[in-house]
Each structure stands twice: as structure tokens, then as C-alpha cells.
Chain A
Amino acid sequence: MSSSDEEIELLADLTRKEPSGEESHAELRTDDRVLARVSDGIYRRPGSALRELVANAYDADAKNVTIDMEPPRFSRISVRDDGSGMSKAQLVRLIHHIGGSAKRTTLGSRLHITSKADPNLSPGGRLLIGKIGIGLFSVSQLTRSFRIMTKRAGEQHRLIADIKLKTFSDSVEPTDEGTTKTGEVRLRSVKAKSKEHGTEIILTPLQPAARDYLRSKDIWARVHGNTSDSESEAFYPPPFHVGRLDPETEETITNSDQPPWDTSQSPLERFRSFYASVLEERTKRNANPKLEAALDQYLHTLWMLSLSVPLAYIDDTHPFDIPKESLPDAYVLSNKRNGTASQLKLRRGQTLRQRLGLESSSPSDFKVTVDGVELRRPLRFSKNATPGTRNPVLFVGKWQPDLSSVPDEVIGGRELSIEGYFLWGSKVIPVDHNGLLIRIADASGTAFDPTFLSYQVAERTRLGQVSSEIFAIKGLDAALNIDRESFNFGHPHAKLVSDWVHRGLREFATAAKRIQKTERETRRTDERDEYEKLIWKSVQRHLRKKRVSRVRLLPADEVEQARRVGQSVLRYESVFADFTPKASERALQAQIEAIATLLTEAGLLDQTDYDKQELLLNAILEIIRLG
């Protein structure tokens, strides 16, 4: 794709006017009218556009992204990064292809947006998120006008641009070249210090819908719309919120904020406090905290953003890097058609990454701070469950199928490599984390999918206890839809991944059943042991002796031996004649033994021979059982 005449002209104009700071004017164009129509207003939520802007910063090798939304006013949003910034040529290109991305082509490399060696990587070596994308259209739901200030290191000038997007109208006709006008831009250069670099985008004014969403207008309208009618339900504000702007004055705050953090805390502490607060909502209000119930729309947006962009995990460590000692019990998936998950034995200090050769990772050098809060991935992998619940179990998988023999027209890209985990606990907290989240280049536009890509087996209870991430190392990106928030399940990669997930879930279900059974038995054994202890303590108390010679019930063939060495034993089969205690009656044996011991100690069985003792105890057993 060569540069059009317009681009060349604009670039020349910008270059010529660089020393004087005179302005250049241009029209925004998109090649693809359909794309423009489809992407105009494609995102419903502000979080989607923020995610795309953060992704751009990531692709530009930024180390820090700072977002300012000015809560609770939300009339402008600024996104600032210290990435590589754009050159004149890149900015001109962006303007002329506002609906598409130059990143993953050789053209991208020429503009230095990608690494020279590999068009899938940034110059800094990051796997690019934005291969396809609707580019700057992503902000159109947030605003129709925004400003860009950008600078590359080594250049003497900073570029500033003011962009106005046109509301898409069917009546706008494409030009002769087949491009459609989608807005206007004014640009100029300003002098700047050579070594500075980075980009800032300021969106203002925000579209009313986006602004009102961030202001949680609907929530507050419900809260303040409480009538004196005693029949209507009283609505309370969510437990955590950033306050409510007075809709009349727009200058004062009518509801003082209740953020899930303290302003004295550092940005990272605030996020950790945020996470802890949401988890704690469980004990205060209801069994299963849900983000929507605990947070206002702004905080909800922050949480979802922290799940979507490449970030370090909240406890600093990627699940694949947690050492054995802190890891839940782990199983590895077999990848076979009807396979079994096998338990993993890790050496001391060993991680899943080391054990299984896993590749996916999260960046340690990418920080996103929003209004003073440093975002992290809000996912934790503790080996300890909350008291009274089952310990979590981790199922891990890695699949790189050999697709070399699959016909070209079927496969849609030969390279597919995925890794993932299914974390099975007794509850998923918050509920919104139940399901499957797919990451490509460590970023995700989907929320957790609780259907696990439409897994058709009815195991709702067990599936409701699972939280899962899939990391696409290679491939799958071609199956993403244009909005990057959903997959095209007609694409071969999506089908393959879906099948792998379902295979994995079957193995998980089998293993889970087995684990639960073992646990039940262990629990019963534990319970029985507990009960037995109580019984013998009671016996000791009544006999006022610390050491008691217990009467035991043993299988008949062991009885002779035991009596020879002086133990008091009776035949189990005779006492329990033809009767097998149920699982819940395991303590019966201990009870009978205790009774026998008491009778013996009281001297009541001295004159009775063993057969009669056994008969007596059998009778007692029956009476207890009937009771």
C-alpha cells in the first residue's frame, strides 16, 4: 500500500511549516466505508475505548500510562504515555487511515512502529496487541473531538493535532479515490526538547452518554428518585463509589465519595485495597459478591480495564511463576481426545513455567495509573481456601498442535499455540470472574465467559466454581472480530481453541469428581477419628484412668494372635454379625469397643466367655442402631 498523494502533500506541508509553527489542515479519511459505518459508535462502554488507548501505548513501548478522568466530573479524559511517540509520517499515516492499522505489515516496519525483524513485535520486542483494530474510531463513543500531542525522541519538534470526528451519516459520499471523509484535523509543530518522547491524547468534551455512564447517572437517579411511596423499593448507593456531582450546578458534590481506598495510600496500595474491599463484600452483604452490586460504574470500569490490558498480577507474580510451596495442587491437561488430567509433582521451589516449559507472561515494565490508582490484574492464586471450604485446585494446559498437514484453505494460519489454566475453588469471587478469559498478546477485550465458549455439558455447579485464563502465544488473533471484543467462531483457530477448552473441561470434570470423592472420604475418616477420640476421652473420664486397656474388635483370624500377646480382643464378625455399617455409622465400632471396655473394667464380663461377650455386644449394637 503506497502513500497517497494527499499523504505526501500533507507530510511535505508539515515539514515545510515546521520552523514557523504554521498550521496544516487536513481531512480525515478512511478507506473502508463499511468499516467506518460499522465502527462508528461500536463500543458501548467507555472502558472499551480506554482499553484501546492503553493498548496503543503498550504497542508504543510505553512504560507508564497515566489516565486522568477527573472524577466525579468526567468532562474530559487524558491518556498520557512515555512510549516512543509518533513521527510526522506516522501521524499523517494515522490520519489518512483512521479506521485501520498500519502496524502489522511491512509498511508498519518502515514507519518504525514495528520491529524491523518481526512485524508482530514492537521495536521494543513486545507482542503487538493492535494488529487489526478500528484505530482511533475506538474513541468515537467517548468523544467527537480530541487532541494529540506526540513526540519522538531525537526530534526537535513536538506535533500537536486537533481532531474533530464527523458524526457518521449515510448521506456522506465517498470521494473519487473511494475514501470517505470522517472528520477534520489541524496540526502544527512546536519546538521541544530533543530527548523528550511520548504521546498524550485528550478527549474533550465527552459525549453525554459516556460522561453520564461514568458519573453513574442511572444509579444515582434511582437512589435519589426514592419517592415517599412506601411500596417502592429503597435504592441504596453501591458500597463503593467516587461521589456524585450535583447535576444542577455541576460544581458541587452531593454525595461524598466512598472509595475502596484511602487517599493516604500509595497508588498500588489503593488498588490492593480496592481488590480486598470487593472480596470482603461477600461477608457483609451476600454470599457471592458481584462487581455491579459493589461498585459504581466508574469503579466497575477500572476493574474491567485492569482485566483487559497487559499488567502485572496483583501479587506481582504470574500464576506460572508461583513456586510450588505457594501453589494450589496442580494437574496438567493431556490434550488428548479422551484423556485424563494427571497430578503434577513439583520439586521444591519449582514453578509451573519451569516444569511445563510455559511461555506466556505479563509485563513487569508496563504501569497503568488511573486517577492516582495503579492498576494490576485482580487475580489471586492462593493455595489456601477460606476456612470451611475446599482447597483450590489448578488445572494447567499447553497445546501447540501440529497443523502442518491440514489443508491451507481450512486452517487459516498454521501457527497456533495456547496455554491456560482452570482454577477450581469452592467459590469464584467476584462472581464476574467465573468463566473463561482469552488473552492475545496478554490483552483481552472479552470479559470472563461463564459458558466457557458454549460448553454444552450441564455441570453448572462445578463450572460455576471455575475461573480460567487462556493465553494465545501464537495465532488466534485472526479469529478476533473487528471490535476485538468477540471471536468469529467460524474461524478455524477459534474452533480449535474451543475444542481444546471443552476437552480440558471434560478432563477437569473427571478429575474433580475423583478429588471430591476422596475429600468426602477423608472428611469422613477425619470425622470418625474425631468422634473416636471423643468416645475414648469419655471412657477415660468415667474410669478415672489415664491409661485404659481398650477392648478391640478384630477380624477372626487376628484374634488368636492378639490374645496370645495379652490384648483384650473380640471377634469383629461375631459382634457385627452380617451387618455392614453404613458410611455414616463408622463410629459404631468405636462405640462398641468403648462399651466393651467399660464393662470389662467394671468387672462385669469376668465370668463370661468370649462367645457370650460377643453375643451381648451384638445385642447392644442392634439396640444402638435402632435408636
Chain B
Amino acid sequence: MSIEDDTDDRSIADAVLISPPEEDEKAELLSRSFQPWHLPRKHYIRIHQWCSLVQKLFRGRKDWYSENGAAYLTLPGDDLLDVRALEGVCTRAGVKLRYLGYNQLSPKTQRSFASDLAVHELQNRPHVDADRSRVIHERIENVSNVESIAYRELQRTGPFSIINLDLCDSLGKDPPSSAGSMLAAIRELLELQSAAGSPWLLFLTTRSNRTGIDSATLSKLIEIVSNNLKGSAEFREKMKGVIIDVHAVAEGVSESDQTSRLVSLGVGKWLLSMGLSGATKWRIELLESYWYSVHGGQRDMLSLAFRFERSRTVSDDTGLTADTSAQSSVPSEAEQALAMLDGVRDLRDPDEILRNDKDLLQKTVQQSRRILEEAHFDVDAYEHWLATKS
């Protein structure tokens, strides 16, 4: 195969000559408008979910992290706000952070200066491992293709202590078994993480509105959940307080809240099924998680946090060594799924939390302002923008 088969002069010229960059006279160097993820509620999650859980993770193996540092996989966007926030945690914990960010530049943002500047600034921070941290301009979905650059980078940097998949849309937007879907990427990540230290964290932010998810995918998620419903009375009982009618969700006639809960549970169980499929068995807990409404109305955005803990893989039936398998095995699928229901039931809404606590809201706004200022946003404009949002 040869792309030079096309002997059209114009295409030859195009391939060889400079293509002038898009002249966008109006765009500023760090031109960015405020986005939904700049709202205080998102920063609340950054601090009280991500940072807080990472802090706990570090405390759990203090010496190990001090010595080895922490590997962090992320979708940092143009501002690397999550990395900035985590860098603070790392500084306080004395842990060196090495991050790998996937940020594909769209043709329009091809010249995004903000990301370059953010990376440059972070390189200078003492607790960022500058030589081993980078943002690559690849799609994270490509990691399911083992011949891709995206996969190769992953292999070279991983495994990770923290994975943060902060998606704008739904992770289930593609039909099942699609090549290059986010679900396929997550599966590949889990494969890579079999070599990860234990425990490790997975943060998953995903839209959960009905229209954002592929129907067949949603059906599959429902099917996964239904299996537990069929198998366990305890599960059925507990489920009543969480999702009233699974089939209503399937038919799209239930409230969005219900869809969101079902997606949370479905994703959790999907992870569980993969986590228990290999030689290494994982215990997967759904930690304090959040949900909120993107456009007002029903809550259709999930911010889930999972903690993965590995079982022992080697057991000895010979009797030469004392049998410790009972202590180190992971709970069964049924038990873990049951536990996950608690997490699904206890989803909290940061908008509601902040509405009910004026002091906390003010504090969060200040913190949000500070991190945006660090990222060179115009904070006066931010205040104005916030005012229009309330």
C-alpha cells in the first residue's frame, strides 16, 4: 500500500508543502471560556473525593509511597486542574507524583497553549517527577489497540496507583463490543493493572442520562444487575431501597435518577466481573461517590470512586505451609455486589451539600477561585460567571 499512488499534483503539493496554520486572529494565547467543570461543585469533588481518597491511600502505605512515588493516569483537559490539586496532596504527604495525561488536541485546539503552560509550570514543582511526567496527545480510547502509540505509552508508564477517567460524556455511548470504545479501554487498563500495587484507586466520571448511553449497552448493564436480583433474595431486598424498578429503567420510562443509580451499579458490577475473572482476584469497593445534574433537573452525572485490593494468588494445599487462604481471599461476587449497593444508595449531591452549608459553599468557591487563578484564569470574570449560574 502506498499513499503516493495518488499522482494528483495537488495532493503531492499538499503533502510536501507547509499547510498554513488556521489564522484565528481573535483567539487569545490562553483563551478559555468557563466550563461546567469550573463550577464549585466540581472542585468540591476534586477536594473531598479525589484528594481526600488519595490522601488516605498514601497514609495507608506511607513509607512505600515516600520511596516509590505515585503513578497517576488522567484525562487532564487543557488546564490540568486535577493534577494541580493532587500536586498539593503529594507535597503535603511528601510523595513524588509522576503523571501520564491523555489529552487529544482537536484540530481547533491544536494550538492549545494552556496545556503546554500548565505542564511547564508543574515540571517546576518539587513533588512532580518532571522527567517521568507528561501529557501525550493521544486518545485514551486507543489503548485497547495494542499496536497504538496510546497503548505503548501506557505500557511504558504503568501500572498506576491512581486512575482518573474524567469523561465529559457517557462511558457507555458505544454499542457493546465496539472497537475503540471507552469500555474496551477500561478493560485494557484493568489488564495492565494486574501488575499494580495494592490497593489502587479508580475515579470514574461519566454522564448517566438515558440518551447518552447506547441502548444495547444499557440493556447489558441491566442484565448484569438482574443476575444478582435473580440469584439473591438479600440483594432483591436491599435493591428496593435503591432502584425501584429495573425494567422501568430499561424501557426508559423511569426517572433519570433511577437510570443513574442503575448505571452506577451496572458499572460497578461490570468491573467486578472482570476483577474476579483472572488469576489475580480483586476486591472492588465503591467508595464515597457523587452525582449531580448537568442542566438542572434530574441528576445525570456520576462521579464514582472505586478501590481495588488484590487477593493473594498463591495457595498451598500440600500442608507444608500454614493455610492462610481463608484470610486473604476476596469476598464472593454476591457479597461484593451487595456491598456496592450501599455505595449506590449513598450517592451524594455536591450541589445539595453546598446549598445547605453557606460557609462550606463560600470556602469551596474560594478554593475553586484559587486553583483557577493558578491556571491563569481571570478570577474577576469567574465571579461574574458564577453569579450568572446561581
A residues near B, CB below 8 A?
A: 21, 23, 66, 68, 70, 72-73, 75-76, 78, 80, 144-145, 147, 149, 158, 160, 162, 164, 167, 186-188, 190-193, 196, 198, 200, 202, 204-205, 207-209, 221, 224-225, 245, 247-248, 251-254, 263, 369, 372
Contacts and interface: CB of A to CB of B under 8 A. Distances in A.
A204 B111 contact: yes
Contact of B116 (A23, A149, A198): A149
B376 A208 contact: no
5 contacts: A149-B117, A208-B17, A208-B18, A245-B149, A248-B3
B287 to A, nearest CB: 34
Interface string B350-361: 000000000000
B29 A23 contact: yes
Nearest to B147: A252
B113 to A, nearest CB: 6
A68 B111 contact: no
Contacts of B3: 247-248
A209 B21 contact: no
B149 A167 contact: no
A164 B116 contact: no
Contacts of A78: 116
Interface stretch (B71-79, B130-138, B240-248): B130-138
Contacts, number: 93
B289 interface: no
B121 A192 contact: yes
Contact of A251 (B28, B120, B124, B142): B142
A251 B149 contact: yes
Contacts of B138: 251
Contact of A68 (B21, B29, B110, B134): B134
A169 to B, nearest CB: 13
B29 A164 contact: no
A165 B352 CA distance: 52
B113 A147 contact: yes
Those 6 A-B pairs whose CB atoms lie nearest each other, nearest first: A252-B147, A196-B124, A252-B148, A190-B376, A149-B120, A200-B120
B183 interface: no
Interface of B: 1-4, 15-21, 28-30, 110-111, 113, 116-117, 120-121, 123-124, 130-131, 134, 136-139, 142, 145, 147-150, 152, 156, 376, 378
A364 to B, nearest CB: 20
A369 B131 CA distance: 10
A196 B125 CA distance: 9
Nearest to B142: A251
Contacts of A187: 29
A453 B96 CA distance: 52
A263 B3 CA distance: 32
A567 B134 CA distance: 86
B22 to A, nearest CB: 11
Nearest to B134: A68
Contacts of A144: 18, 20-21
Contacts of B142: 251-252
Contact of B113 (A72, A160, A252): A160
Given A145-B21, A193-B124, A251-B138, A66 B117 contact: no
B376 A162 contact: no
Given A147-B116, A193-B124, A200-B120, A251 B148 contact: yes
Contact of A253 (B20, B120, B148, B156): B148
Given A70-B137, A209-B16, 12 more contacts: A23-B28, A75-B137, A80-B120, A158-B121, A160-B29, A190-B30, A198-B124, A200-B116, A204-B111, A207-B18, A208-B16, A208-B18
B370 to A, nearest CB: 12
A80 B148 contact: no
A187 B117 CA distance: 13
A193 B123 CA distance: 13
B113 A162 contact: yes
Contacts of A205: 21, 110
Contacts of A72: 149
A253 B152 contact: yes
Contacts of A191: 376
A164 B25 CA distance: 12
A204 B2 CA distance: 26
A36 B354 CA distance: 60
B147 A253 contact: yes
Nearest to A202: B116
A172 B321 CA distance: 85
Contact of B117 (A190, A207, A254, A372): A190
Contacts of B121: 158, 192
Contacts of A167: 18
B29 A66 contact: no
B87 to A, nearest CB: 13
Contacts of B124: 193, 196, 198
A78 B116 CA distance: 10
B18 A253 contact: no
Contacts of A204: 110-111
A221 B2 contact: yes
A70 B117 contact: no
Contacts of B113: 147, 160, 162
A253 B117 contact: no
Nearest to A198: B124
A192 B118 CA distance: 11
A145 B111 contact: yes
Nearest to B146: A252
A193 B91 CA distance: 16
Contacts of A73: 149
A149 B21 CA distance: 20
Contacts of A221: 2, 4
B149 A252 contact: yes
Contacts of B116: 78, 147, 149, 200, 202
Contacts of A147: 113, 116
Contacts of A76: 137
A66 B18 contact: no
Contacts of A23: 28-29
A149 B122 CA distance: 13
Given A80-B120, A145-B21, A221-B2, A208 B15 contact: yes
